[in-house]
A and B are shown apart, each in its own frame.
Chain A
Amino acid sequence: MSLLLIAEHDHETIAPATFAVLTAAEKFSVPIHVIIMGSSCQKVTEEISFYENVEKVWIVENQALSHFIPENMVNTLLELAKGYKFILAPSTTFGKNLLPRLAALLDVAQISDVIEIQDQNKFVRPIYAGNALATVTSEDAIKVLTVRPTAFEKAKKGSLKAPIELYPFVPPSIRGLTFVKKEESSAERPELTNASIVVSGGRGLQSKDNFALIEDLADLLGAAIGASRAAVDAGFVPNDYQVGQTGKVVAPTLYIAVGISGAIQHLAGMKESKVIVAINKDPDAPIFQVADYGIVGDLFTILPELTAKMKTVMKN
């Protein structure tokens, strides 16, 4: 009757989303086992083994797992999964890519992007880009869930170390799949979905060059940079900056929306933020309906002033 949590990591550290899933896992009130898969996992296995409520850590190491390609992971997971009643992973691109593949092989449905666990078989998940919340139940023997990381606090590190056990790698049934490369969009700034502060720009920025104003404030605050779909479509910033329905869902402590009108699609991706600040020249922009603090005016005067004055504040 245990729960298996598939950890996301990069061989150096455990992805913060994993700790949010761990908190979600605790709601099931069953023993929690974590599985770490990769090519060299000693360090991350040690890290997760000290977290509260982790009863056991499985470690599976193989060169074929170095890039977390689902086709290379599922056969091992399929063997292990048969002993579990609940299987959880974060609803990051890692979990979204992997878990449906596993669920299909187990012949069970997957419940995507869970934001609340009411009991062992009652889950709340957003549909229609968060414009409605559905409470669902599954008739399958094994419940497979991806969990929205921003909906749960991150679990705390404990003092006890959970036992670590090796699990054998089961070779994949699919061949002819090769990893070519990975391009990271920005190594200096925090990842958008993990950042505690996000500064986002929209069409109001008017050009790619003007996005430097957003960068200045973001770098000062140690924030991640986000953007509306309009700004991405206009080519001001790369695709993976997009916050919203079809982009990333974020819930930072502070979200600063600059020159973003607040289309439903954008609000769906950021309205769970703790504090929202909006800077926009249009006093009727929908963004002000969700903002805690709004300031109406020209972003090209307000934004540099804000950055300059923040600099003084940060110094003190």
Chain B
Amino acid sequence: MKILVAVKRVIDYSIKVHVKSDGSGIDFSGVKMSINPFDEIAIEEAVRLKEKGIASEIVAVSIGEKTCQESLRTALALGADRAIHVETSFETQPLCVAKALKALVERENPRLVILGKQAIDDDCNQTGQMLAALLSWPQGTFVSRLNVKEDEIEVVREIDGGLETLKMSLPAVVTTDLRLNEPRYATLPNIMKAKQKPFEILGEDVLGIDLKPHLKTLCVAEPPKRQAGIKVTTVDELIDKLQNEAKVI
């Protein structure tokens, strides 16, 4: 079974982002970039399926600027077999990305597409669902357990207040939640080997889709800062404050 995994390059999760002083966006200068953590989980899941003999080939894809190729190299080092980069200078928004992924799916014919439930930059949480809709495939979103059988999958989804288990026939789209697995690190030999793996670069025109964003960002601002309060020394004082000052109990 062929699996397609989509990855997005984002500011590393450990970096505290700064808003540009003119309010035009986030300051990217000199900031460490990484694969979106949820997409790393998607790669790991695909690699594990290959190790179990369920997946035959893993194709990693990314849509965006030229620098995305670094993220795809990492995906190859983690175990993907091939990479496809769709190069565009447009800001990548979920609907357009979903359309590009649909075109890639039609080209590659995977049985399963795995991607992160959301990217930690725009926090949209849309692309997987949109791709499933455009393909008319079932979707297993926010998945923390994936069981692949011959022609169907069983997914355990993290929903508000619990877990939901669904069964769906393949082909399907799965979006990963945090605890689906713990991604491995790329080893040096694998990083070297990744350089030899097939790497395809496509212009956006090749897919025949319009990647022009539908949403426009008017401004970006820092959120209002919360003022630090006071320190109390005893439990009695704390209870007194909660009762008489904050009046919350």
Contacts and interface: CB of A to CB of B under 8 A. Distances in A.
Contacts, number: 256
Contacts of B215: 109, 111, 136-139
Interface string B32-52: 000001100000000000000
In this complex, the interface size class of chain A, counting residues with CB under 8 Å from chain B, is 35 or more
A290 B113 CA distance: 41
A302 B235 contact: yes
Interface residues of B, number: 81
A127 B167 CA distance: 33
Nearest to A137: B216
Interface string A267-296: 000010011110000010000111111111
A129 B121 CA distance: 8
B138 A293 contact: no
Contacts of A99: 129
A278 B233 CA distance: 12
Interface in B121-139: 121-134, 136-139
B88 interface: no
B70 interface: no
Nearest to A93: B159
Contacts of B165: 179-183
A191 B161 contact: yes
Nearest to A305: B235
Given A264-B16, A309-B235, A313-B239, A176 B123 contact: no
A108 B95 contact: yes
Nearest to A313: B239
A146 to B, nearest CB: 8
A296 B217 CA distance: 42
Interface string B194-234: 00000000000000000001111111111100101111111
Contacts of B162: 182-185, 240
B120 interface: yes
Interface stretch (B61-69, B104-112, B185-193, B240-248): B240-248
Contacts of A138: 214-216
Interface stretch (A20-28, A31-39, A43-51, A68-76): A68-76
A114 B38 CA distance: 22
A254 interface: yes
B103 to A, nearest CB: 14
A283 B223 CA distance: 25
B249 A310 contact: yes
Interface string A92-109: 111011111111110111
B169 A103 contact: no
B235 A306 contact: yes
A310 B239 contact: yes
Contact of B161 (A97, A136, A185, A309): A185
Contact of A295 (B131, B138, B238): B238
A154 B132 CA distance: 33
B231 to A, nearest CB: 5
B138 A294 contact: no
Contact of A100 (B133, B157, B226): B133
A113 B249 CA distance: 30
A135 interface: yes
Interface in A106-135: 107-113, 122, 126-135
Q: Which 8 A-B pairs have the closest CB atoms?
A: A176-B169, A292-B229, A104-B130, A100-B129, A109-B214, A100-B126, A180-B165, A104-B133
Interface of B: 11, 13, 16-17, 19, 26, 37-38, 93-95, 98, 120-134, 136-139, 141-142, 144, 152, 154, 157-169, 177-179, 213-223, 226, 228-236, 238-239, 241-243, 246, 248-249
21 contacts: A96-B129, A97-B129, A104-B134, A109-B213, A110-B94, A127-B26, A128-B26, A132-B17, A132-B220, A133-B220, A133-B222, A134-B217, A178-B166, A179-B166, A182-B159, A185-B163, A186-B161, A232-B179, A239-B177, A293-B229, A306-B235
